[in-house]
Amino acid sequence: MKNKKIIGVIVAIVVVVIGVAIWGNQSKGNKQSDNQVKTVGVLQYVTHPALDEIYKGVQEGLKNKGYTEGDNLKIVFQNGQADQSKLQTMSEALINENSDVLIGIATPAAQSLANATSEIPVVLGAVTDPVGAKLVDDEDKPSGNVTGVSDKTPAPGQIDLISRLLPNAKVIGALYSSGEDNSKYEIEQLKKAAAEKGYTVKDYAVPSTNEINSTVAAMVNDVDVIYIPVDNTIASAMQTVVNVANQTKTPIIPSVNTMVEQGGLAAVGIDQYELGVKTGEMAAAILDGKAVKDLPVYSFKTGDIYINEKQAELLGITIPDDLKTEAKEIYNG
């Protein structure tokens, strides 16, 4: 009788101890997931002002959606400096960091990440042509692990800008890198829009930044205006392009605000910081548990007008008042 009582007490104690242990473990698990720090791996292709702005925007976009660095977010950032083998090693390193989401800023970086993993979600930071770059099969319903933001800008708007600013221009020289999928797409679109309005487009494709100086020096003799798409190689050497083109007062029409700020005459384009914000917000949606297949690629419907007034003065060009009123930003510095 006494023994039975003791056994009963022991069993009760064991049950309680086991129960407490299980409950303790469970609540520890919950706590961990509440305070979990998410890791976002960012791979930027190269340093130029546009991509730097995009990265700043990415941080802001994540923050807007409740992911703050040092609190519940760790960002591991790598810059491939336009080097293919660096991009590859860095992609692998970001995967080894156990990143919850990867962000590729510019096409070559996104391609490198997508080649390295088919499991971790990859968010495109301003990739012009995700389908052409073989990153996404269907922009509306991505079937793989890749989605994100595209910075396609409607070419007819850019031709319209040229006709309003430079009514006498007939020959457009397209300056871009022969190795970038994003530029190929933009130049094709530009040629279609230009042909409709009776412009001639001449191609000046450079293999690398080394040829930019001589190419621009040659093209200014044959074209009325230089057009630059969202091309990373040219963006990395924008100052050279501006310096050479200014010698013959040849106007430059780029396709982003940052390149207007650096000495382009004017552009219809997307604010680079905004592109980054949108990218960061998409990455946050994935961290929140949203599936890639439910997140279509985001494209901006229209671009904004940016003008460099100081550059217009230097070129002896008068900016029409209506264009000034429409402009999102006018740079004077």
Q: Which residues of this chain interact with ligand TRP, rule CB under 6 A?
A: 50, 106-107, 126-128, 151, 182, 230-232, 235, 256, 272
- For residue 11, the tally of other CB atoms under 10 A from its CB is 10
> Please, what is the minimum distance in Å from the beta carbon of residue 66 to ligand TRP?
26
Q: Containing H/E element for 205?
A: strand 200-206
- For residue 28, the tally of other CB atoms under 10 A from its CB is 9
User: CA–CA separation, 287 vs 234, rounded Å?
Assistant: 34
CB 328 within 8 A of CB 271: yes
> Please, what is the minimum distance in Å from the beta carbon of residue 182 to ligand TRP?
3
- Give whichever of 94 and 135 is closer to ligand TRP, judged by the CB atom: 135
Reading across the β-sheet that carries 252-253, which strands appear in turn?
200-206, 171-177, 225-227, 252-253
Residues 75-106: b if buried by 16+ CB within 10 A, e if exposed: bbbbbbebeeeebeebbeebbeeebbbbbbbb
Sign of CA dihedral 308, 311, 313, 318: negative
> Please, what is the minimum distance in Å from the beta carbon of residue 332 to ligand TRP?
22
CB 297 within 8 A of CB 135: no
- Give whichever of 100 and 236 is closer to ligand TRP, judged by the CB atom: 236
Reading across the β-sheet that carries 146-150, which strands appear in turn?
73-79, 38-44, 101-105, 122-125, 146-150, 298-299
> Please, what is the minimum distance in Å from the beta carbon of residue 151 to ligand TRP?
5
> Please, what is the minimum distance in Å from the beta carbon of residue 49 to ligand TRP?
8
- Give whichever of 73 and 266 is closer to ligand TRP, judged by the CB atom: 266
- Give whichever of 73 and 187 is closer to ligand TRP, judged by the CB atom: 187
- Give whichever of 62 and 267 is closer to ligand TRP, judged by the CB atom: 267
The two beta strands, 298-299 and 146-150, are: parallel
- Give whichever of 91 and 100 is closer to ligand TRP, judged by the CB atom: 91
- Give whichever of 73 and 136 is closer to ligand TRP, judged by the CB atom: 136
> Please, what is the minimum distance in Å from the beta carbon of residue 144 to ligand TRP?
18
User: CA–CA separation, 122 vs 148, rounded Å?
Assistant: 8
> Please, what is the minimum distance in Å from the beta carbon of residue 321 to ligand TRP?
28
